Amino acid sequence: METLESHYYNWFGVLFFIVVYSVVLLFIPFYKKMNKKPIGTYVAFVIAFAIEMHGIPFSMYVISWVIGKNLPEGILWGHTLVSRIGFWGMYINIGCAAAALFLILNGWYNIYKKYWSKETGKGALVKTGVYRYIRHPQYTGLLLLTLGMLAEWATLPMLMLYPIMIIMYVRLAKHEEKDMLIEFGDEYRKYIKETKMFIPFIV
């Protein structure tokens, strides 16, 4: 219990994790006004993760108050399912974070370098790098990053926000694709047939 309690009331740790996980937003393209709500939901998810992991375990207090007894470690507080998988949740989070950063940075690099042509002043359809396999790698990256956080330290707000995030980013991706169809027409229709939206070879 002493080790777990050492996680809490570490407000520097809370701030550190919020900043670290928010930095990735610098590499996500801003898509009109629609991007504000998905980004806000992602930031809320990160804040919930950071505060409940290093600040105060609100989920444990709320659920314990409702049911009248303390929750076992790993159920909405502590390392997720620690009694079943030990600290593997932390390693899963690290793996998800590494894959997510690759997707986000590779997507940013290809869009930044290859979408806009200075010579013609027109956009070009990007199909290089990770875009050869999926059409929205950066959104996949964000969802993978947050899934890793759930695997390490799931809390009540995070479990509520995650499906909302999925819905928001799917809707955002569909709106983007409507604009891409207007901009690139048949070239983008062909690209849709050749790739998946979020997960290579699956969906």
- Residue 116 pLDDT: 64
CA distance 84 to 68: 24
pLDDT confidence of 100, banded at 50, 70, 90? very high
Span 2-194: which CATH code? Answer: 1.20.120
Sign of the Cα pseudo-torsion (145, 147, 151, 155, in order) = positive
Question: Is the entire prediction scored with pTM above 0.75?
Answer: yes
Give me the chain's average pLDDT, please: 89
Instruction: Provide, rounded to the nearest whole percent, the portion of the chain with pLDDT above 70.
Output: 91
Write the single-letter amino acid at 130: V
Angle between helices 36-54 and 58-67 (to 10 degrees): 80
Angle between helices 137-153 and 88-114 (to 10 degrees): 160
Decide if pLDDT at 177 tops 80. yes
Q: Mean pLDDT across the stretch 63-90?
A: 86
Q: Mean pLDDT across the stretch 48-72?
A: 89
Decide if pLDDT at 39 tops 50. yes
Decide if pLDDT at 32 tops 70. no
Decide if pLDDT at 60 tops 90. no
- Residue 1 pLDDT: 45
